[in-house]
Amino acid sequence: MLRMTMLPAASLCILMVLSLCSRAEATTAFDLLRETAVSYRGSLPCGGWDCECAFGRQKSCCCIAQPLFELEEATFTRMVGLWEGLSHLNSQIEELTAGCKIAFTAAMLPMSGCLGPFNSNMSISYRSVSLNQGNGYNPALGTFTAPHAGLYSFSFTAYSSVGSAGQRLYQKVQLMKNDQLVASSWEDNREDSEDSSTQTVLLQLRRGCQVYVELLSGRQLCGDTQGQNMFSGYLVYPFSEQ
């Protein structure tokens, strides 16, 4: 009975010794593999394998850790450059469009009589102002002064009524830019008792340029009881000052 009891115990001891030997051999083999990898001087498939990482931590990602780090740095640098470029562009846009809500609409005050005739060309004062964004229009002078350089659209309507057929309808108004003629509207006949026309133009203006409508000397505008003689304009888009 004693022999039967001792046999399993001996077997257990042998197994434990074999297990320890196997672990020692495995540890020795791992160390040998590590030393071999560290001392290897040949080319690596990934070009930069971190052996300390490969044998000490995760084994699948260490081979590309450095390339990934370099890619991350390059991406971050590029994003910083793009952000700086966008910030600069945003500053330019804000500078270009600052205060560029520019538009006005004005009409002559209703009258039953006539404006004119005068001995010289006379700037028309459109005193009934319904819109003046940017405060570019001066109703006392009838003159628009560009607050900002840009492309502007201007419209004017010339209306006159002499009351009855047979009287002479004799009007001419013209749009002026810095004392230069841009567009005009005129009528000279005895067949029509009233008539109107509208002109619309696009003008490139520098800051400070002036635009106005004038009544030609010897001509007249009559019978505008509804304020139908109008002058309006707005900024289409701004320019940077050259």
- Give tens-digit pLDDT for 151-196: 999 999 999 988 877 788 889 999 999 999 999 998 887 777 788 8
Residue 11 predicted with pLDDT over 90: no
Which one-letter amino acid corresponds to residue 69?
F
pLDDT of res. 1:
44
Say whether the peptide bond before residue 147 is cis (omega within 30 degrees of 0).
no
d(CA 94, CA 88) in angstroms, rounded, equals: 10
pLDDT, tens digit, 9 for 90 and up, residues 191-218: 777 888 999 999 999 999 999 999 999 9
Phi, psi of 222 (to 5 degrees): -130, 155
Number of alpha carbons in the 13 Å side-chain half-sphere of residue 8: 4
DSSP 8-state secondary structure symbol assigned to residue 148: S
**Helices (runs of H) and strands (runs of E) counted in the chain:** 3, 13
Instruction: List residues bridging with 237 in a β-sheet.
Output: 151
Q: Which helix (H) or strand (E) holds 236?
A: strand 230-238
pLDDT above 90 covers a percentage of the chain that reads 42
Q: Which helix (H) or strand (E) holds 103?
A: strand 103-107
Residue 242 predicted with pLDDT over 90: no
pLDDT of res. 80:
87
pLDDT, tens digit, 9 for 90 and up, residues 66-81: 677 788 888 888 888 8
CB-CB contact of 176 with 182 (8 Å): yes
Residue 44 predicted with pLDDT over 80: no
pLDDT above 70 covers a percentage of the chain that reads 70
Instruction: List residues bridging with 218 in a β-sheet.
Output: none
CB atoms within 10 A of CB 51: 16
When pLDDT is averaged across residues 89-116 and rounded to a whole number, the result is 82
pLDDT of res. 55:
57
Residues 77, 80, 81, CA angle at the centre, nearest 5°? 90
